[in-house]
Structure 1
Amino acid sequence: MSTFSHISVQDVADFSGTVSIVDIRDPQSYANGHMPNAAPLNNDNFATFVEQTPKDTPVVVVCYHGVSSQQAAQVIAQQGFETVYSMDGGFEAWRLANPVETE
């Protein structure tokens, strides 16, 4: 059974190579600030994400505080992705130490 791993904010910041960062927070929160290169992911675009993202691309799931992202990461892992992470501390932890982009 596919599962996900936990990853720290620092490890995500240091990630080299291709990675898909998906933000599962609500659209307003995403617009108000998100991680660079993060894409919003919700029920409306989930199927498209699964179809269009190579299964060998590492996926980092980001939510508010790193709780909801664990369940979402599990669901994504079950879609056949090889490497899936839930970012501990979520966007709130990222925002304290790293750059944030707004719409």
Structure 2
Amino acid sequence: MTTFSHISVQDVANFDGDVAIVDIRDPQSYANGHMPNASPLNNDNFSAFVENTPKDTPVVVVCYHGISSQQAAQVIAQQGFAEVYSMDGGFEAWRANQSVVTE
């Protein structure tokens, strides 16, 4: 069974190479602040993400605190992606130590 791994904020910040960072928080929270290069992911664009993202691209799933991202990461892993991560601590942990982009 395909599954996901946990990844730390620091490891995401230091990630070398292509990575798809998907933010599953609500649109208002995303607009108020998100990780650089993160894309919002929700039910409306999920199938497009699966179709348009190469399956060998590592995917990092981000939520508020690293809880709901685990379930989402599992679903994404089941779509055939080779590397899927749930970021421990979520966006709140990222915001405490890293730069944030607002719209």
Using structure 1 for the length normalisation, give the TM-score. Answer: 1.00
Report the identity percentage. 83
Measure the CA separation in 1 of the matches of 2:102 and 2:68. 22
Q: Give ranges in structure 1 of 5+ residues lacking alignment.
A: none
Give 2:51's aligned residue: 51
Give 1:74's aligned residue: 74
Give 1:8's aligned residue: 8
Q: Give ranges in structure 2 of 5+ residues lacking alignment.
A: none
SS at match of 1:74: helix
Deviations 1:56-81 (A, max 9, x none): 00000000000000000000000000
SS at match of 1:57: coil
Equivalent pairs, count? 103
Matches within 5 A, 1:1-103: 1-103=1-103
Measure the CA separation in 2 of the matches of 1:78 and 1:16. 24
- Please tell me the root mean square deviation across aligned C-alpha atoms, in Å: 0.2
Runs of 4 or more off by more than 3 Å in structure 1? none
Measure the CA separation in 2 of the matches of 1:2 and 1:28. 32
SS at match of 2:39: strand
Measure the CA separation in 2 of the matches of 1:48 and 1:2. 21
Which residue identity does 2:2 align to in structure 1? S
Which residue identity does 1:77 align to in structure 2? A
